[in-house]
């Protein structure tokens, strides 16, 4: 059977410096990270990715590294029409000047999203973050951009926290929650009701299946069929270099089949959201 064409709604560009995570030795775990636009585009050719959203790589707790990669992501988007980009922005008040510089690029050709995460500090309910979050989500609404938000279990990136952003901003701003809520608890919370409840309430919320635990995609499809909504809100994504194309593709293709639902997950929903 021919492979379903794919658009990747979430991959990164840039190589991070080694860092001693969790008290261990300095490591570089992003082995497949691409340092140049040429290498990044070659990776799309190698994997057969027809279109993608590229985001600055992040994770090392130095915000300037990811802000500096905005130029590289924008270069990729403006060099090849297969690529749209998201710009790194921070919820932290201490990054206000960096955000201003990033948002000055937001109207450039090729920009489709603003990417933020609380892994480098702050939280959705921290008063210190309120002004920058209003700035980020307001700019996205004004420019018709998507806000791309990391999710993972516990702390500030948990669905319990991230969900407050959907409630506050989801009427006016398109929000892409990556990783299907992040891990077992995130899957349970999103697939178990919140994703579908938000959609039925009119929230502009989307998610991708990168990092999804094995059971989750099948349950997601079953709940889409049961609830009758959500088929147009799910995107294929790899999170390369933190995920891998082969594994992410196989997991979603196994449950999506080869009909209209697969087409929506792998291509159509990307085109509707990111142009």
Q: pLDDT per residue over 99-147, tens digit each?
A: 999 999 999 999 999 999 999 999 999 999 999 999 999 999 999 999 9
pTM of the complete model: 0.97
Q: pLDDT per residue over 150-182, tens digit each?
A: 999 999 999 999 999 999 999 999 999 999 999
Asked whether residue 267 carries a pLDDT value surpassing 70, the answer given is yes
Round the average pLDDT of the chain to a whole number and report it: 97
pLDDT at 1: 40
* Local confidence band at 2 (pLDDT 50, 70, 90 cut-offs): low
Q: How many residues does the chain have?
A: 275
More confident position, 60 or 1: 60
pLDDT at 212: 97
From CA 88, how far away is CA 57, in angstroms rounded? 9
Asked whether residue 81 carries a pLDDT value surpassing 50, the answer given is yes
Buried b (16+ CB within 10 A) or exposed e, 265-274: bbbbbbeebb
* Local confidence band at 47 (pLDDT 50, 70, 90 cut-offs): very high
Whether the Cβ atoms of residue 55 and residue 30 lie closer than 8 Å to each other: no
What percent of the chain has pLDDT above 70?
99
CATH topology of domain 6-274: TIM Barrel (3.20.20)
Sign of CA dihedral 251, 252, 256, 262: negative
pLDDT at 114: 99
Look at the block and give the residue holding tokens 């919370």. 189
Q: pLDDT per residue over 170-227, tens digit each?
A: 999 999 999 999 999 999 999 999 999 999 999 999 999 999 999 999 999 999 999 9
Asked whether residue 4 carries a pLDDT value surpassing 90, the answer given is no
Number of Cα atoms under 13 Å in the Cβ half of residue 13: 31
């Amino acid at each position: 059977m021919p492979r379903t064409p794919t658009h990747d709604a979430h991959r990164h560009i840039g190589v991070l410096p080694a860092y001693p995570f969790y008290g261990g030795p300095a490591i570089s775990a992003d082995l497949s990270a691409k340092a140049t636009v040429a290498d990044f585009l070659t990776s799309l050719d190698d994997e057969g990715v027809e279109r993608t959203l590229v985001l600055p790589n992040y994770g090392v707790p130095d915000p300037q590294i990811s802000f500096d990669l905005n130029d590289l992501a924008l270069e990729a988007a403006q060099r090849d029409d297969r690529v749209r980009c998201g710009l790194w922005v921070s919820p932290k008040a201490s990054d206000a000047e960096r955000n201003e510089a990033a948002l000055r690029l937001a109207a450039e050709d090729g920009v489709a999203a603003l990417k933020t995460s609380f892994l480098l500090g702050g939280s959705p309910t921290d008063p210190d973050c309120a002004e920058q979050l209003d700035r980020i989500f307001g700019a996205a609404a004004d420019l018709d951009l998507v806000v791309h938000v990391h999710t993972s279990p516990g702390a500030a990136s948990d669905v319990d926290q991230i969900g407050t952003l959907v409630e506050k901003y989801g009427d006016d701003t398109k929000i892409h929650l990556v990783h299907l809520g992040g891990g077992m608890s995130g899957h349970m919370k999103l697939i178990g009701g919140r994703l579908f409840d938000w959609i039925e309430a009119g929230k502009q919320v989307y998610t991708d299946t990168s990092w999804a635990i094995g059971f989750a995609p099948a349950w997601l499809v079953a709940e889409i069929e049961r609830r009758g909504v959500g088929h147009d809100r799910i995107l294929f994504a790899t999170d390369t270099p933190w995920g891998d194309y082969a594994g992410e593709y196989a997991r979603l293709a196994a449950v999506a089949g080869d009909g209209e639902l697969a087409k929506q997950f792998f291509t159509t929903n990307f085109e509707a959201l990111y142009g």
